[in-house]
Structure 1
Amino acid sequence: MNRRNVLWMATIGVGLAAPTAWAGPFIIDVGTDFSGNDRTTTEPIRTLGFSNIYATSFYLGDPNTIGTTIIDTNILSEMNGLGYSAGTYPALDGTSQVTLRDPNMVADRSISRLQYEDSDTSGINAGNRHSGENWASPDNEGWGLTFDYRIEGRIVEGPGGDPEPYFDSGYFDVFYQNGPSEQRTQVLRMVLEDSVLQAPNLDLLGILTYEDFDSDSALVQDFFLDTETGRTFYDLITEGEVISISWRLDTNVDPPLPLDSNLADLSAENGDMVFARQTELSGSVRYQVNQVPEPTTIGLLGLGLMWLAWVMGKGRRSKMNLRAS
C-alpha cells in the first residue's frame, strides 16, 4: 500500500485564493443527526473557514529587533502567563493608548464556514454556525468547530535585510462543540514545525497528530474522513503515515510588524519586557493527500540511477578511448 502525506493549508485574509492543487475534499461525521435527514455526515468539504477572530500577538522585546521572541495565542491562561489582562495600556510610543480584550469563547474561536465542493449540499451543513456568544438556532441545537492555538517564533532578518516574523513551534487544536450540551471535544491537533514568509502572507508548516489528547473515542477517530482514500485522518496517521500540514496566516495587517502606537506595554505587569498587539483575522483551512513512494519504489529508483550513471560513465570512457587512438 502506498503511503501518503496530507497537507493542510489555512489561507487567512479575505480575497486570497489558494491554488487548485491544494484541493483535498473531506467529510465530517459528528455522530448526531442534527438535520433530521438520517445523516450524521456533511457533504465533501474543501475548506474550513473563520472570520474576524480577535488574535493576540506577544513580543518579548522590541518587535523590530532580530531575535525577539513572538508568541501568538488565543488561550486565556497562556495570555495571563505573559502578563496580560483586559484593559487599557500605554503604548510603546509613550503617548498612545491600546485597549486589549479577552477572546470570546465562541466568536473568536469558531470555524464558522464550511466550503463545500458542491453548493447544492444535502448534509448537515447548516449546523455549523454561531451568533455572538451562542450557537445560532432558537433552541441552541447546533454544532460547531472551535480552535485553540499557541505558536511561537522570533524576529529574523528577511532577504531584503528587514525584520520579519518566523515561527517554528506550537500547535493548533480543533474542537467539536455540541450546541445543546455545549460539550467541547478535541478532534485534531496540528504541531507546528516551520514557516515561510510569502508576502503578504505567512505559511506555517507542520504535522497532524492524535497524540497529547484523548483520541480513544469513536467520535474523534471517525470525525474527519478523506474522500480520496475513503479512510479517516486517524487511520492515515496511526497506521504510520506522515501527515504534513500547512497554515497560511494573514500578514496583511498594515504594517506586518506593529507600529509602536499599536503595542500595549505589559512590561510593568510581570517585570519583563512584553508588548502585545490585537488584530482581526479571517481565513480558511484545507488539506491535500500526496503519494509517497514505498521503500521498494525508492530502491528501484536507486537502481535506475546507478544504471544511468554506469551508462554515462561508459560513454565517457568510450569517447576518451577514441581521442586516445
Structure 2
Amino acid sequence: MDGAKRGPAPAHDIPIWLGAMKPRMQRLIGRKADGWLPTYLYLQPGDLARGNEIIDAAAAGAGRDPREVRRLLNIGGSFLPERRDTLQGPPSSWVHDLLPLVVEDGVSTFILASDDPSTIQNFALDVIPLLRDAVEEARAGAGTSTGRVRPAAALARRRSGIDYDAVPASLAEAAIEPGDVRYATVRNTYLRGGSPGLVLPVRDAEQAAEALGFARAQAGPLSLRSGGHGISGRSTNDGGIVIDVSALNAIEVLDEATRRVRVGAGARWMDVAAALEPHGWALTSGDYGGVGVGVSPPREGSAGSHESTGSRSTACGAWSS
C-alpha cells in the first residue's frame, strides 16, 4: 500500500476473502481473491453451484487454478434433541446437512456464527469429527484427490533445473519456494543476498539424507544453511537448492565427567553458552545470539551434530562456516 511503513513480515499468507453474491463481484473473486465467503442464511437453492461456476470460469480465464480460491461458508443453527429444519437438530442431522455442501459444492471451511459456549462445544466435539469422517468416506468412494494447490503466481517464480514435483513427500510440506511468504526469511544470510530456487528445511538425519539425494539429481548449486550467519556467502546461492538444518539445534551433554557435548549444526553459540554455563564450562567461540555454530563434516555416527571435549574452561571448539 502506498505510504505504508515497513513492519514485521507476516507469519503466513494473509488471504482476502469476499462474500459477494453478484456475478460481477464473483468474477472478481475468480480473478483476484483467495476465497469466497457467502452466508448460508442468505443463499437460495443453486446459489453455490452458480457462484462456483462463475468463479471457476473467471479463475481459469485469468490463468489461475480454480482450486486456488477457497470456498468458505458462514453458518448458524441450534442443537436440538430432534431435527426440525436445516442445522436445527442433533449433531447427526448437522452432519447430514453439511456433507453435501462439502462434497458437492466444494466448501472446505465452515465459520460458525455463534458466541454460545455450548453451541461452539457441540460443533467442535460432536459435529466436526463426524463430518470429517463422512467427507473422507465420500471422497474415497468418488476417487477425489486433495492436496495443496500452489498459486499460479508462485508457480511462475520457479527456477529452471529443479524438478519441484519430485520433492520427497517428507519434505514437500515444509519446502520453501520463491513464491512463498516465508522465502524472504531464508533467501539471504547475515551479509550475503541470495535467490535460491528451493529451500528444504530438514528436522532429522533421515530428512537431511533425502534432501541431499534429491539435490544431487538437480541442476544448479547446492548450499547448506544452519544459523544463517554465513559470512562467506556459501549458505545461499542463485537458482539452486539450499538445505536448511537450522532445526537441528539440540545441545546435549553426553558425559559430564569427560565434558563431552553434542551440538546440533543448527544451534547458535548463544544457546550453547547458556547450556554450558550451569556446568561452569565456557567455549572459545563468540556467543552473540546471531552467530550460528555452522555446518562442518560430522564425526562418524553423529550426523548433523558436533562432539567435543575440552578443559573445564573450554567445553567446545569453534566450528563455523
| Structure (1 or 2) with the larger CA radius of gyration | 2
Higher strand share: 1
Using structure 2 for the length normalisation, give the TM-score: 0.21
Higher helix share: 2
